[in-house]
Amino acid sequence: MGAPILALALGLLVVEGALRLANVAYPAWDRPTPGLREWGIPHAEGWAVGETRTWVALNSQGARDVEHAIEKPPDTLRIVVVGDSYAAAFEVELEEAFWSVAERALEACPALGDRRVEMINVSKRGYGTTEELLALRRIGLPYDPDWVVLAFLTGNDFRNNTRALKDSDRPYFEYDENGALVLDESYAEEADFRRWTGLPGDLWYGLLRHSRLLQTLRHVQRRVETAIELARLESESEGEGGESEGSELGLDDGIYREPEDPAWRSAWRITEGVIRRMRDEVRAEGAELLLMTLSNAIQVHPDPERRRRHAERVGAEDLFYPDRRLQAFAEAEGIASLVLAPELQEWAEREATCVHGFPGPWRCQGHWNAEGHRLAGERLARKLCAELGSAGGRRSSP
């Protein structure tokens, strides 16, 4: 009995060593975290595999970014970015992420004077606006930003913001009978969540961090589970008899129409309420909020006929409906806003080039590629420069 066990142990050590020599690392990027549902594991690094294969490293705050001192240096304009997977940007190199592009481009802004620019990313894959607000409170605002950029993805942020559209184990804001916006964090009372935030979670994530073999086995398991789930969702879509061209798994086509049912009306009301709450909390810290709506792949597809067919199929008069409505909301609330999709669409059509997607079976779908990030970052820099140079009373100095 002893010899087989010893042989197995030696074999596992050999495999572990080989994986390390080959630089194979698939870490757990995040773990259950009280008050945030999930958050990044500080200093996690390894290969992020999905639409691309990119080496990703998280900083000491558990965010995908370089290190930043908590205390703001003098003569510095700080801008905190909160968002979901688009802002986490695991699909591109760090310097290609839109906030990295914007940081470099903004340095040429005349309104800066002698100040330097520091963009700080506080974003997490899978987050909605509620969780982004919670992360901003805990991690973003201590950096003493001058501006906060909310990177809003219309394709799934509405769904992530309301239990009526996506009932899952996450925090939700809801309106009570008195019309007050209140936070429901009942997910944190579940035994499974408490277990993984306690000693069992510490042991598991500690072991996972140090074992490349365990990381690889977990990675393979998750890839298989994801493939099975995608096949199931595609099968269900085909079974419903609907044409899938232009639609993306995980995104909602209901955003392109005026909300008619109670669930969608609630999603819009709650989302606007959370953005309003974020504006108030940002201003209470002496900063300003910029609401930046991103783009869904079909909105900016380079083929206008494909866009037209999708709009017709989902009953939409305007694929920019959610962006324009949020822009009108922001204007009414005194919030600076930036709508990216129309300009990205114009560029993609003119250049006949996709700003979403990577080489593979789903051309022009998925997250922004490097071109999408570049265009978004340059446009964000121009918008912030214009705001800094305006006489609208916005904060423009530390």
Give domain status of residue 5, yes or no: no
Confidence band (pLDDT; 50, 70, 90) for 37?
very high
Give domain status of residue 16, yes or no: no
pLDDT tens digits along 126-168: 999 999 999 999 999 999 999 999 999 999 999 999 998 988 8
Q: Give the C-alpha separation, 113 to 131, whole Å.
A: 35
Domain holding 342, by residue range, is: 21-389
Residue 233: predicted pLDDT: 53
Confidence band (pLDDT; 50, 70, 90) for 375?
very high
Give domain status of residue 3, yes or no: no
User: Over the chain, what is the mean pLDDT?
Assistant: 90
pLDDT tens digits along 178-215: 999 999 999 999 998 999 998 888 888 888 888 887 87
Give domain status of residue 394, yes or no: no
Give domain status of residue 163, yes or no: yes
| Pair of tokens at residue 354 | 């996709």
Residue 397: predicted pLDDT: 37
Residue 243: predicted pLDDT: 43
* Residue 360 pLDDT greater than 70, yes or no: yes
Give domain status of residue 15, yes or no: no
* Count of structural domains within the chain: 1
Looking at beta carbons, which pairs linking 168-175 to residues 24 or more positions away fall under 8 Å? 169/37, 169/193, 170/37, 170/128, 170/130, 170/131, 171/37, 171/130, 171/131, 171/134, 172/130, 172/270, 173/130, 173/270, 173/273, 173/274, 173/277, 174/270, 175/269, 175/270, 175/273
Residue 367: predicted pLDDT: 96
pLDDT tens digits along 117-134: 999 999 999 999 999 999
CATH label of the domain that carries residue 213: 3.40.50.1110
Give domain status of residue 210, yes or no: yes
Contact 38, 124 (CB under 8 A): yes
Looking at 69-73, 227-231, 288-292, which range is the least confident one?
227-231
Q: Report the percentage of the chain scoring pLDDT > 90.
A: 73
Give domain status of residue 14, yes or no: no
